[in-house]
Amino acid sequence: MAHEHKLEIFRGLVKFKSNIQKIWGVLIFLTIVTAVEVGLGITKPEFLTKNYFLGMKLLNWIFIILTLVKAYYIAWDFMHLRDEKSALRRAIVWTPIFLVCYLIFILLFEADYIYNVFKEGFLAWNF
Partner 1 sequence: MDTTVTTGTEDSVWGGGNRPLNASYGKMMMWFFIVSDALTFSGFLVSYGFSRFKFIETWPIADEVFTHVPFFHGNFPMYYVAFMTFILIMSSVTMVLAVDAGHKMLQKKVIFYMFLTIIGGAIFVGSQAWEWATFIKGDYGALETKGGRILQFVNAETGERAALRDFSTELPEDRIKHEKNAGIWYQADGYTTSFSLNEVIEGFKASPNILIRTETINEEGEKTLLTRQESLAKLKNATQVVEGANLIHNEYGSRLFADFFFFITGFHGFHVFSGVLINIIIFFNVILGTYEKRGHYEMVEKVGLYWHFVDLVWVFVFTFFYLV
Query: What string marks each residue from 27 to 56 as x (binds partner 1 by CB under 8 A) or -?
Result: x--xx--xx-xx--xx------x-------
d(CA 107, CA 76): 29
125 binds partner 1 (CB under 8 A): yes
Give, in degrees to the nearest 5, the angle at Cα 93 between 90 and 97. 125
Rounded to a whole number of angstroms, the minimum distance from the CB of residue 50 to partner 1 is 9
Of 13, 29, 119, whose CA–CA distance to 74 is shortest?
29
Task: Decide: 7 and 16 in contact? Cβ < 8 Å.
Answer: yes
Three-state SS at 18: coil
Which parts of this chain interact with partner 1 (CB under 8 A)? Answer: 1, 3, 19-20, 23-24, 27, 30-31, 34-35, 37-38, 41-42, 49, 60, 63-64, 66-67, 70-71, 74-75, 77-80, 84-85, 87-88, 91-92, 95-96, 99-100, 103-104, 107-108, 110-112, 114-115, 118, 124-127
